[in-house]
Amino acid sequence: MLRTLFAILAFVLLGAPVPATAQDAFPSRNVRLVVSFPPGGGIDAVARMFAEKLAGLLGQPVVVENRGGASGTIAGKAVAGAEPDGYTVLVASNSMLIAQALNPKIGLDTPKELLALASAAPQAVIVVAQPDLAANSLKELAALAKTRRLNYGSPGAGSIGHLAGEYLFSTASGVSLEHIPFPGAAQALTAVLGKQTDLAVVTLPPTVSLVQSGKLKGIAVTTEQRSAALPQVQNVVEAGVSGFSASAWTGFFVPAKTPKAVADKLGDAIVKVAAMPDVKERLSKLGFEPTSVAGARFQREIGDELKRWSAVIDKAGLRK
């Protein structure tokens, strides 16, 4: 009888499965990507591309929810206050950091309240002009600006296009151009096409077909390498601007207190998606750079970028 009891106990202790912890079982239901822009934009396109692939890697549906507004801080605050369980993931861009640098009282402290999982698919910023503008480089543009008043459009006050323009023109070239804010890149580009503005400073993807067709002229891209989509356009180093680069990344974040095991699993999956050949090909054709940055490095870059944009904002007198 005693031997039988010991046998039963041994079976229970050695043969019974060990219950999985919540972290080990992650994910066991839908994962939600909260996108900080309306449907149809570049960040939204990347989020939907990644959602499709992440679903296969994670074994659960990955759904996209758009919560645009306030330069990404509406979505940022919503995710920062969500349950830190990995099921709510923010997809945002630099505009969220720029909004924080412009107004530290905005109510979102990105490095403290959000944990960076990875960034992917950065978009270079590009200066484009009317084809008949008598300048083909930043140096020629600066020289022209000393003889006549020039203006440039961007996707809004405080956008990465606006701040990149302020740096390239005011700080690096020492000339003053009038800034004209528009609701988005499409409107800024339409204004150049209609000769209402001389230039636009926007992210690269929406300009690719316009420059390739000759409807607009590419002056410079704000990266240290030329863009694969528009290889004929100079980069800022070739244009004589050193120590400055700007890209609009697609960043993935979770609430700061999310368990490390869960965050690591999500971050690893995002980096794997970014490395998939078909994803890289699709991103390249759209004008995105098919690269990614893993979480720990991305988290460090966020702090550095906040300092950099704060310096640009202070010099331009834009702080609220």
Residue 235, domain member (yes or no): no
- Structure token pair of residue 208: 């690719």
pTM of the model: 0.81
Both 269 and 284 in one domain: the answer is yes
Q: Which residues pair with 33 in a beta bridge?
A: 64, 89
Question: Which of left, alpha, beta for 195 (phi over 0: left; psi -120 to 50: alpha)?
Answer: left
pLDDT at residue number 3: 54
> Per the structure, how many domains does the chain have?
2
Residue 15, domain member (yes or no): no
Residue 241, domain member (yes or no): no
Both 258 and 116 in one domain: the answer is yes
Q: Which residues neighbour 199 within 8 Å (Cβ) at sequence distance 6 or greater?
A: 127, 128, 129, 130, 133, 141, 150, 151, 152, 153, 177, 192, 219
Residue 237, domain member (yes or no): no
What's the CATH number where 174 sits? 3.40.190.10
Both 178 and 207 in one domain: the answer is yes
Both 265 and 280 in one domain: the answer is yes
- CA-CA distances (angstroms) from residue 209 to 47, 76, 186, 187, 285? 22, 32, 13, 16, 10
For residue 256, give its domain range.
31-122+248-316
For Cα atoms 300, 157, 68, give the angle at the middle one, nearest 5 degrees: 70
For the chain (length 320 residues), average pLDDT per consecutive 10?
Answer: 47 46 78 90 90 98 92 93 98 92 91 97 94 95 95 88 91 90 87 96 92 97 90 93 88 97 98 97 90 94 90 81
Both 176 and 211 in one domain: the answer is yes
Contact assessment for residue 190 and residue 206, using Cβ atoms and an 8 Å cutoff: no
pLDDT at residue number 29: 97
What's the CATH number where 264 sits? 3.40.190.150
User: From the CB of residue 63, how many other CB atoms can be counted at a distance below 10 Å?
Assistant: 12
Tell me the C-alpha distance between 250 and 50, whole Å. Answer: 11
Q: Which residues neighbour 17 within 8 Å (Cβ) at sequence distance 6 or greater?
A: none
Q: Which residues pair with 62 in a beta bridge?
A: 31
